[in-house]
Structure 1
Amino acid sequence: MEIEWLPFELRPYPQQTLSPKSDYIQQAWHQSILPYAEKLGVTMNLPMVDPQPHTHFSHEGLLYAKEHGKGNDYADQVFKAFYEEGKNIGNISVLGELAAELDLNREEFEEALSTRRYSEEREKWLKQARTTDMIQAVPTFFIGEKKLTGLQPRAAFEKALSEEK
């Protein structure tokens, strides 16, 4: 089974993103996200980019990377950069560094983001997520016809995968 990453924004531009110092983020991080990451053995640090970056450029970068056969690698790089290294994934130059690490053409990549070459395609995916797929939370996973929303125990994924086979 293959993973396919698609764009989705909880707070699309120009809606204001949250501060990592906000009560909401602090509570969610310490009560849900961090304990779950520790349970799974996943390194996650609360990125102190304040306010949290908008993700339209990182999503458009994903579409570029997918077009060049490196979508999943790019998604991994972006998550690592944000949650392990605290980098601003809303910054085209930061994303360009990540693309270059994957042997994508940095100049072409940054130009694609600067000119918003993938903006229309990103909007198409966002519209589908909101209207057709009814996504309202992250993460959301589709395994066949089953939709798993939010933090889920391993057993939920195992069950969905076994039912899909």
Structure 2
Amino acid sequence: MKVEIWSDVVCPFCYVGKRKFENALKDFAHRDEVEVVWHSFELDPNFEAVPGESIHESLAKKKGVSPAEGRRMNDYMTNVAKEVGLNYDFEKAIPANTFLAHQLIHLGAHHGKQDATKERLFAAYYTEGQNIGDLDTLVQLGTEVGLDAAEIREALTNGTYANAVRFDEYQAQQINVRGVPFFVFEDKYAVSGAQPTELFAEVLEKVYDEFKPAKPALVTVADGPACGPEGCD
């Protein structure tokens, strides 16, 4: 069973949604049959970081509110994250463009480390105050999940996975993704937002029951002398 997830690294509900989905998956009897694929989605592709600007000020400017209101929004999000065991630290968070980070996630996928790369970037941004828009920082984070430093630097410098990011975003447009996280189960059922773990659990069960692999039909490859209830041939 395939689950595709569109998200952005600087989307606070995306990290929360990841945890809620993982909690549901952990208790799902057929979790080993679930393939999770992460897709890129940039909330603000044209974002340019302003040196020295806090995440509260950056959010306030984007929302057209005061810095105090921006801080209040982030405080609310911090409390939401605590409910799933995440310790957001917006005082250290550095506003960043995520285009390079999404390319790193695609490189991670190429090496079978997509989820680990996604998780490392989330933690770096929300809990450690690392600049995920910085090339050297991304090289370091990538090596921490087992990727090669030279390959990371070359891929991000040359834009090896830039088109892969853009294709993810094109796909999002085709299925009318307006906000993230956005979960698609078996190309048929969609769940938008960081829904409760219980809802994800229900969807996993429903989709598996509908799409679970059928037992292969029995094919007779040879037919010879045999015995039955009425005797032998």
Question: What TM-score, normalized to structure 2?
Answer: 0.63
Aligned to 2:37: 4
Give the fraction of aligned pairs with identical amino acids, expressed as a percent.
Answer: 26
Aligned to 2:130: 87
| Mapping 1:8-27, distance limit 5 Å | 8-12=41-45, 14-16=46-48, 20-22=55-57, 23=60, 24=63, 25-27=70-72
Tell me how large the CA RMSD over aligned residues is: 2.0
Kept in 1: contact 2:139–2:152 (CA 8 A) = yes
136-145 or 152-161, which moves further after superposition?
136-145
Determine which of 135, 147, 151 is the counterpart of 1:108: 151
Aligned to 1:135: 177
Q: Deviations over 1:87-131 (max 9, x none)?
A: 1111111110011112211011111101111111211111111x2
Larger gyration radius, structure 1 or structure 2: 2
| Mapping 1:1-165, distance limit 5 Å | 1-12=34-45, 14-16=46-48, 20-22=55-57, 23=60, 24=63, 25-31=70-76, 33-46=77-90, 47-49=92-94, 52-129=95-172, 131-144=173-186, 145-165=188-208
Give structure 1 stretches of 5+ with no counterpart: none
Q: 1:76 is paired with a residue of what secondary structure?
A: helix
Give structure 2 stretches of 5+ with no counterpart: 1-33, 64-69, 209-233
Shift of 1:21: 1.5
Shift of 1:19: 5.3
Instruction: Please identify which structure carries the higher strand content.
Output: 2
Which protein has greater RCO, CA pairs closer than 8 Å, 6+ apart?
A: 2
Count of aligned pairs between the two proteins: 160
Q: Deviations over 1:54-96 (max 9, x none)?
A: 1110011111111111111111111111111011111111110
Question: What TM-score, normalized to structure 1?
Answer: 0.86
Q: Deviations over 1:32-54 (max 9, x none)?
A: x22221112222222531xx211
Q: 2:55 is paired with a residue of what secondary structure?
A: coil
